[in-house]
Amino acid sequence: MAKYYALIAGLPQLTADSPRPPLSTEEFVHELDGILTRHDRSLLRLLQREAEHKEFLGWISSGELPLPVLSDEVDYSYGASKEETEGQESLAPKLRLLRQIAEDAYRGKRLHHRGSDLLPLYQARFVHDLFARPEHTELDQEAPKVRYDELSQDRLALEDLLVAYYYDEATQSSSPFIREWAQLNKNLRNILVVFTCRRLGWDPSSFIVGTGSVEEKLRTSKAKDFDLSEELPYLPEILRIAEERDIAGRERLIDLMKWRWMDEWTFMRVFEIDSVLCYYLRLTILERWSKLDAAQGEATFRGIVHALKGESAQVLQEFKRNHRHR
| pLDDT digits (tens), the chain, 326 positions | 789 999 999 999 999 988 889 999 999 999 999 999 999 999 999 999 999 999 999 999 888 998 887 654 333 344 444 444 444 555 689 999 999 999 999 998 999 998 899 999 999 999 999 999 887 655 555 656 788 888 888 888 899 999 999 999 999 999 999 999 999 999 999 999 998 888 888 888 888 998 889 999 999 988 889 999 999 999 999 999 999 988 888 999 999 999 999 999 999 999 999 999 999 999 999 999 888 755 455 554 555 555 444 444 454 454 445 444 44
The domains of the chain are located at 47-135+143-153
Q: At what angle do helices 213-220 and 176-200 cross, to 10 degrees?
A: 10
CA 36, chain centre distance (Å): 22
DSSP string over 88-109 = GGGS-HHHHHHHHHHHHHHTTP
- Contacts of 291 by beta carbon, 8 Å cutoff, 6+ apart: none
Spatial distance between the Cα atoms of 175 and 179, rounded to a whole number of angstroms:
6
At 181, phi and psi to the nearest 5?
-65, -45
Given a contact cutoff of 8 angstroms between Cβ atoms, the answer to whether 184 and 192 are in contact is no
Using CA atoms, how far apart are residues 57 and 88, in angstroms rounded to an integer?
19
Residue 156 backbone dihedrals phi, psi, to 5 degrees: -65, -40
